[in-house]
A and B are shown apart, each in its own frame.
Chain A
C-alpha cells in the first residue's frame, strides 16, 4: 500500500509542476473566470436601465406632465425628446433617438376626470423584440399605477393584475449569469484541462513510458485529476466571492451545502474530461471535443441563457442529460432561494449518478496498451 501511495504522490507532484510552470495557462485559468464573469455580468444584460423615450404630449396639462414625470423618475427611462407632431414618432424611432414613444391624447386631464378613462399610446422599436416588450411592459405598469393613484375610484379599474417577482424582485440578470458562468468556467477549466493534459502525455510519448510501469489506470487517472480538483475549487471560490461582492448576489442558503455541490460538479466535470481524453489521441482533438461537447451545450441547453421551459420538447429532454443544468439549478436553489438539502437532493443524486457513470466508463475505456 505504501508503494502505491508513493507513486500517486509522485504523480500529483509532477502534475503540479506542469501546471505551475505553464504560466500562460495558469494565467488563463484564473483570468478567464474574472473576465467571463465581468463580461456576462455587465455587458450581457437584459435589464432595462436608462432607456431613451420620447413623449408626444398633445395635452400638456398638469396630469399629463405628472405622468411624464412619473415615467422619467422611475429610473428606467430618460426623456430624450418632446415631440410636437405625430409624424415625428416614426422619425425618432427610425433614427434610434428613442426606443419607445409615449403619446398622450389631447385633453388628457379633462377626459380622465370626466370619464375616468384616458388613452395613452405606446410605440416601441421592436427591431429588438425582447427590449421592446420589456419596455412596453414597464411603461404600461407605471401608467396603470399612475391611473389607479389618480382616479380615486378603484372600482373603475376593470382588470388589475398584481404580480410579484419572488427572490429576484428587480429581475436582475446577474442572478442568472453568475451561476451560469460558474458552471461554464468550472466545466471548461476542469474538463478541458484534464482532457488536454492526458492527451498531452499521449502526444509527447510519455504515456508510453507510464504504461510500461506498474502504475494502474486508476492511479494515473487519480494523479491527473487531483490537482485540477484543487484548481477548480479555487476558481469556484473566486467566482462566488466576485458574485457576492461585485454583483451583490445573495447568499441565502448554506455555504457548506453550496461548496459541496460545487465540489461534486467539479468531480463530474473532471470525469467527463477523462472520458474525452480516453477517446482523443492529441491535445487538439481533446480541445475541440471539449469545446463542442461541453462549451456549447453548457451555454445553450443548460438554461444558462435560454430558459429550458421555452425549448422544444426534444431539446428539453436533451437538457436533462446536460450536467450543468443540474448544477445551475442546485446553485440557484441554494444561493438565491436559500433552500436546503431537501430541495436539491434530486440534483445531487443526478450529478452523483453521472459522475459514477462517466468514471466507470473512462476506467473501462482507458487503454492499458498503445
Chain B
C-alpha cells in the first residue's frame, strides 16, 4: 500500500490465531493504521492478500463487514447523539438490538450508564473510548480491529481498557490491537513489532524479553543528556536512551561492569546518582530491534 511516493506498508506477513489478543506495536507512521484499514476492507492493498476467517478482505468485503468490529483511531461516533442513541444506532445498523448482546458489553456499559443521556461529544476521553468499544462490540463480532484505542487516554483508563480487552478474550473474540505504547505489549498474547512498513518480529512478550542479547544498565544522573552524549562517544557502549528520568545503556554481554561505567562517566566529569544492572523491558527490546533494523536498512 502506498500514498504517493511513500509506501506505507512493505512486508507485513503474519497470522493471528483464533481467539488471540494480538498487538501491533510501532511508532507513529509505521503503517499500523494502514494495515488495520486493509483488514477492515477500507483500503485495497497494492500487492499481497489478506484473509480473515477465510474471507478475502478485497473480494469478500461484504462478508468481512458482517463479522468485523472496527474502532478507528479517531473518535468516530455521533457527537450530537447521546451514549444510548449511539449504541442503539450501531446495533440497528448491524440488524441487532442492544438487549440481544448486552451481556457482551455489560461490564463496559455499566461504567457509561450514568452518562447514558449525555451527548457523546461531551464525554471524557476515556469514556469516549469505552463507548466506541461498546459500539464496535454490540453486534458480537468475530474479529475486533482496534486502531490505537488508548491514544490520548489517561493512564488509569488505559489500564482499565486493557483489562476489558483481556475479558473479551475469554468470550472467544479475536482481537488485533495497534498501539504506539510499548509498555502495552505485555498485555498481548503475541505482538508484531512494526516499523517503516515492515514487521520486524513476531513474538510473545516473554520471548522478546528473553531474547534480549545485551547487558542493560540503568543510570540515574542529574544531567541525563550529558550522560547520553558521553556514552555515545565511546564504541564500547552499544546504545543509550533516555527512559523517563533514567538512561538505559546496553552493552555486549559481560563486556563491562557497573563500576566501569561509573568510572567512565566520572572521567568525563559526570556524577551519577545510581548505576545498576536492570532487566530489559519490552521497550528496551524494541529500541534495540529498531536500531538493528536501521543499521541494516
How many A-B residue contacts, CB cutoff 8 Å? 81
A171 smallest CB distance to B (angstroms): 49
* Complex contact A368–B81 (CB within 8 A): no
* Complex contact A369–B76 (CB within 8 A): no
* Complex contact B80–A369 (CB within 8 A): no
In the complex, whether A14 has a CB less than 8 A from a CB of chain B is yes
- Knowing A14-B81, A369-B42, A370-B42, the reply to whether A210 touches B74 (Cβ < 8 A) is no
* Complex contact B93–A370 (CB within 8 A): no
Q: How far is the CA of A205 from the CA of B41 in the complex (A)?
A: 15
Collect the chain A residues with CB atoms within 8 Å of residue B90's CB. Answer: 209, 213
Collect the chain A residues with CB atoms within 8 Å of residue B293's CB. Answer: none
In the complex, whether A167 has a CB less than 8 A from a CB of chain B is no
Q: How far is the CA of A25 from the CA of B143 in the complex (A)?
A: 39
* Complex contact A11–B93 (CB within 8 A): yes
B interface residue count range (under 10 / 10 to 19 / 20 to 34 / 35 or more)? 20 to 34
Task: Specify which of A22, A204, A210 is in contact with B93 (CB 8 Å cutoff).
Answer: A210
* Complex contact A209–B42 (CB within 8 A): no
Task: Specify which of A10, A208, A215 is in contact with B88 (CB 8 Å cutoff).
Answer: A10
In the complex, whether A18 has a CB less than 8 A from a CB of chain B is yes
Collect the chain B residues with CB atoms within 8 Å of residue A11's CB. Answer: 89, 92-93
* Complex contact B94–A214 (CB within 8 A): yes
Task: Specify which of A204, A210, A368, A370 is in contact with B61 (CB 8 Å cutoff).
Answer: A368
Task: Specify which of B37, B78, B79, B93 is in contact with A213 (CB 8 Å cutoff).
Answer: B93
Task: Specify which of A7, A10, A206 is in contact with B78 (CB 8 Å cutoff).
Answer: A206
* Complex contact B89–A212 (CB within 8 A): no
* Complex contact B94–A213 (CB within 8 A): yes
A53 smallest CB distance to B (angstroms): 59
Task: Specify which of B37, B44, B95 is in contact with A4 (CB 8 Å cutoff).
Answer: B95
Per the 8 Å Cβ criterion, residues 160-219 of B in contact with A are none
* Complex contact A369–B44 (CB within 8 A): yes
Collect the chain A residues with CB atoms within 8 Å of residue B74's CB. Answer: 205
Q: How far is the CA of A3 from the CA of B100 in the complex (A)?
A: 14
In the complex, whether A17 has a CB less than 8 A from a CB of chain B is yes
Collect the chain B residues with CB atoms within 8 Å of residue A21's CB. Answer: 80
Q: How far is the CA of A361 from the CA of B157 in the complex (A)?
A: 46
- Knowing A208-B42, A369-B42, A369-B43, the reply to whether A7 touches B80 (Cβ < 8 A) is no
Q: Which of B24-32, B63-71, B249-257, B259-267 contacts A (4 or more CB under 8 A)?
A: B63-71
* Complex contact B76–A212 (CB within 8 A): no
A interface residue count range (under 10 / 10 to 19 / 20 to 34 / 35 or more)? 20 to 34
Task: Specify which of B76, B85, B91, B135 is in contact with A17 (CB 8 Å cutoff).
Answer: B85
- Knowing A17-B81, A22-B80, A214-B62, the reply to whether A208 touches B72 (Cβ < 8 A) is yes
A174 smallest CB distance to B (angstroms): 39
Q: How far is the CA of A11 from the CA of B91 in the complex (A)?
A: 11
Collect the chain A residues with CB atoms within 8 Å of residue B112's CB. Answer: none
* Complex contact A204–B95 (CB within 8 A): no
* Complex contact B93–A214 (CB within 8 A): yes
A200 smallest CB distance to B (angstroms): 10
- Knowing A211-B42, A212-B41, the reply to whether A206 touches B93 (Cβ < 8 A) is no
Ordered by A's residue number, 13 sampled pairs between the chains whose C-beta atoms are within 8 Å are A4-B95, A10-B91, A10-B93, A17-B78, A17-B81, A22-B80, A205-B75, A208-B76, A212-B65, A212-B70, A215-B93, A369-B41, A370-B42
B residues with a Cβ closer than 8 A to A are 37, 40-44, 61-62, 65-66, 68, 70, 72, 74-81, 85, 88-95, 135
A residues with a Cβ closer than 8 A to B are 3-4, 6-7, 9-11, 13-14, 17-18, 21-22, 204-206, 208-215, 368-370
Nearest 6 CB-CB pairings of A with B: A10-B92, A3-B95, A205-B76, A212-B70, A370-B42, A205-B74
